Structure 1
Amino acid sequence: MTDIVQNPFVIQPGTVQRGLTRIRALSEGDVVADAAAPLLVWEYSYAPRYFFAPENVRAELRPAGEGERSGVLGPSEVFDVVLGDRVLRRAAQRFPQAPTQDMRGAYTLTWTAMDTWLEEDEVIHFHARSPYVRVDTLHSSRHVRVVLGGEVVAESHRPVILTETGLVPRFYLPRVDVRMDLLSPTDAVSYCPYKGTARYWSVTAGDLKVHDAVWGYETPLREAAGVAGLVCFWPEKSAELEVWVDGERIGQP
């Protein structure tokens, strides 16, 4: 019998394909690059990078020496991005010996050097979006119970299950089903190009405290709108934090 495939959606590093949507990169309102169909290049499996043909780059690119060598794409050259009196140093990169011919003359931009990235007219957060990632939210009546050090922290029969390609399902709970008095907000923040910006809480029960073990999205992006205002527990954070779904424990570290 063939083993069940757990994650068939891992994109192999070195994968290159033509994008299907317009991508723009901006800095302080200046358009640095604008392409109706840039190349999507997976240097790593988790997300692609955008590569722009020379004619799609609006800024002047000034050679700035050698860049880091990629194990997949080969040696690189880096460029300063010149926008009038402003210079974004070493903010563009090219791989002249890349395996794919179309890539060799194309440029990729340092994500954090740009202050705005747009897919069509919608802002992209954190990193480039993969066309193969899908996010769904599903209302459920499954019984979710969260326990820390023997104390019940949350219990619900109305979770919202969030599924995301390549990741385990997550169970988001209404706050009325959670002992919010046991949660304390932290300064931790994470960003997802599919879900948005998450804020975190630590959870305390008796003498036990697990830091940044609960998160939630107040104003998630469209794909994750179903979990707005809900909270999710992260059982992989600590063996003491137990999440049970229909009597089965999930997510043990």
Structure 2
Amino acid sequence: MLDGEMVLDSTAVLLVWEVPNYPQYYIPIGDISDSVLRATSEIRRSPSRGDAHVFDVLGRKSIIQGGAWHHPDSPLTDIKDHVRFDWQTMDAWFEEDEEVYVHPRDPYTRIDVLDSSRHIRIEINGETVADSSNAKLLFETGLPTRYYLPKTDVRFDLLSATDKSTGCPYKGTARYWTVSAGGILHENVAWGYDTPLPESRGIEGRVAFYNEKVDIFVDGDLLERPTTQFS
């Protein structure tokens, strides 16, 4: 959707993994109105997908320069007749009748939220900042288990809200906190979702900490800090 209008609609979209973590939509050329794309002279080069011809995207009121591209001679034959739009070009994207946020959902990614009475303790620089036996464990494909704790079990006297926010197509929009512990400020190491998406509703109003950056004890055992893109 762009400028309040549906500008493309397709039941034959390809999911293409340009990077390992999530896919992008590639739209069949035949499913895109001629009035949406305006050719430019720009060429973008990709070692894996070949040269791309760049288009401006035309809405009812907007012109998004360089907002779409097409690889007509790609060595990846499946994408030759498809156009890739910059996600930010559109005001909104929909899968069936549900809006999709941030990037296309990965069909190989699963989210599960489970109740747990395990004793979870969060320690930063030797100082306990959270202690709970009422956690929600969130399992997300490719990431370590995240422990979402009730706010009443978190030492909010050590936390201060920041302006940072991030989006996730499976969980929604997260807000962040900086933690003051051991005489040091640990920026944006805690986060939570005030209004998560339906599949992650169980973590609503709770707080999680980066396993990669804090010490997490589960039933008294210190977990090894994982190495991820958030380390």
Scaled by the length of structure 2, what TM-score is found? 0.91
Alpha carbons 1:148, 1:208 under 8 Å: kept: no
Aligned match of 1:133 in 97, 100, 109? Answer: 109
Cα distance in 2 for partners of 1:85, 1:141 equals: 54
C-alpha spacing 1:117/1:85, structure 2 compared with 1 (3 Å): closer
Deviations 1:197-253 (A, max 9, x none): 00000111351221101000010011111100000011423xxx3211122222536
Q: Deviations over 1:1-46 (max 9, x none)?
A: xxxxxxxxxxxxxxxxxxxxxxxxx111122211123111111111
Amino acid at match of 2:8: A
Q: Which runs of 5+ in 1 are unaligned?
A: 1-25
Amino acid at match of 2:31: N
Correspondence for 1:43: 18
What's the CA shift string for 1:66-112, capped at 9, x where partnerless? 33222321111101122355322111100112233331121111111
**What TM-score, normalized to structure 1?**
0.84
Given residue 218 of structure 1, which amino acid in structure 2 is its aligned partner? D
Aligned partners of 2:3 and 2:60 also within 8 Å: no
Identity of aligned residues (%): 43
Pairs within 5 Å for 1:168-183: 168-183=144-159
Partner residue of 2:219? 246
What letter is aligned with 2:85?
A: L
Listed as ranges, the matches of 1:80-99 within 5 Å are 80-84=56-60, 86-99=62-75
Equivalences for residues 1-253 of structure 1 within 5 A: 26-58=1-33, 59-84=35-60, 86-237=62-213, 241-252=214-225
Hey, what's the Cα distance between the residues in 1 that align with 2:7 and 2:121?
A: 49
Distance 1:42 1:55 in 2: 22
Question: Deviation at 1:129?
Answer: 1.0
Aligned equivalents of 1:210 and 1:153: distance in 2? 12
Residues in 1 aligned to 2:142 and 2:7: alpha-carbon distance in whole angstroms: 32
Q: 1:140 deviation in Å?
A: 0.7
Alpha-carbon distance in structure 1 between the residues aligned to 2:188 and 2:32: 41
Q: Distance in 2 between matches of 1:84 and 1:174?
A: 46
Q: Deviations over 1:106-136 (max 9, x none)?
A: 1111111111111111111111111111101
- Kept in 1: contact 2:43–2:54 (CA 8 A): yes
Output the CA distance in 2 between the equivalents of 1:84 and 1:227.
39
Aligned to 2:222, the other structure's residue is in SS state strand
- Seen in structure 2, the aligned counterparts of structure 1 residues 52 and 187 have a Cα distance that, compared at 3 Å, is same
Measured on the aligned residues, the alpha-carbon RMSD in Å equals: 1.6
Distance 2:125 2:79 in 1: 54
* Distance (Å, rounded) in 1 between the aligned partners of 2:96 and 2:16: 19
Classify 1:83/1:188 alpha carbon distance in 2 versus 1 (closer, same or farther; 3 Å): closer
Unaligned ranges ≥5, structure 2: 226-230
